[in-house]
Amino acid sequence: MGLREVWRLMSRFNSSKRTNIILQHLRMSKHTDAAAEVLLERKGCAGVITLNRPKFLNALNLSMIRQIYPQLKKWEQDPETFLIIIKGAGGKAFCAGGDIRVISEARKANQKIAQDFFREEYMLNNAIDSCQKPYIALIHGITMGGGVGLSVHGQFRVATEKSLFAMPETAIGLFPDVGGGYFLPRLQGKLGCFLALTGFRLKGRDVYTAGIATHFVDSEKLGMLEEDLLALKSPSKENIADVLETYHAKSKIDQDKSFILEEHMDKINSWFSANTVEEIIENLQQDGSSFALEQLKVINKMSPTSLKITLRQLMEGSSKTLQEVLTMEYRLSQACMRGHDFHEGVRAVLIDKDQSPKWKPADLKEVTDEALNNHFKSLGSNDLKF
């Protein structure tokens, strides 16, 4: 509907009340079209972002990023918007990651989408981190890769018993991006390094215990939590935190369950303290326990290049700011797009689904320091800038 048609419609109504109703309808319909991939709505005191691709587990694409970013910036400046909530439609996933199949397939036709997607995704990750309004991610269901980037940098992250967290990128010839080089080394001990190299999945309350989520709420109470947040009148950050804390304190599911990795944490801290992937593998082999050998089996299936990139990414990221990490990760993303393993990983896992990627090089020994250094090289004028 163009501007001319809007004014024609308005001219039929003398009442300013009716005019306001029409304008409100037009504003809402722009954002709440059922077919839209992302819904952007003002509700109560909040701006609400709903990732709306449930058939694709709310996988994030460039079109969604280009809608979320400017709206986030508008709400941040709007004095009537006191908080921002982001959630996923469908109940199965918050967001299962970036729509990487599209990115890989676009290489044949249009290389630019790989530049635009990662650049704009990382800009959004940074905008979430620096957002001046309380940002609440309801990470109910599958939350991986790009979905972690949409949540973990926000002030509040609410997990439920249905939450499933993972950074599985080494299995597709990539690396745990979206600021993984920043938040993973800041988890307890060497947990982040373990999660990054193995793609180990955390479920339910463990997502909170690990420090990925800030709160845990039973999923049946999630709707009530959202209603209570929206009903707040001009809330402060403390008011919002109080509501989240109240729901967290009342959550009962798996309340007394110990962290799934608790009995292994001392060993994980020891094994993954090594400075090279080869040493980590040696540590696992020498340990010989069933848990160690299980992780060894997993790591041996991953892209050797991805493993080496990831370990260095986390080591360097541990002392960098988020913006510095995202700049580093943009360089890495573009190197991976030019290489073999990412496209082979997408083929094996998402296209042919044979789960048998043929990595090049296929052996850690063949991933040279020179090849690794090239991944981290500046892109000059094409670098990501904030």
Tally of helices (H runs) and strands (E runs) in the chain: 18, 10
**Amino acid at the residue 89:** A
Tokens of 84: 């921002």
Active site residue 146: yes
Catalytic residue among 37, 121, 177, 226: 177
Tokens of 366: 């063949």
Active site residue 169: yes
CA distance 308 to 324: 19
What does each C-alpha distance from 201 to 71, 145, 282 come to in angstroms? 32, 12, 23
**Amino acid at the residue 130:** S
Q: Under a CB-based contact definition with an 8 Å cutoff, are residues 118 and 177 in contact?
A: yes
Catalytic residue among 44, 98, 154, 204: 98
Q: For residue 178, is it left (φ>0), alpha (ψ between -120 and 50) or beta?
A: left
Catalytic residue among 99, 121, 161, 169: 169
Active site residue 47: no
Active site residue 141: no
Catalytic residue among 88, 145, 146, 181: 146
What does each C-alpha distance from 133 to 73, 121, 136 come to in angstroms? 10, 20, 10
Nearest Cα to 295, choosing from 276, 277, 313? 277
8-state DSSP, 37: S
Q: Report, as residue numbers or ranges, the catalytic residues.
A: 98, 146, 169, 177
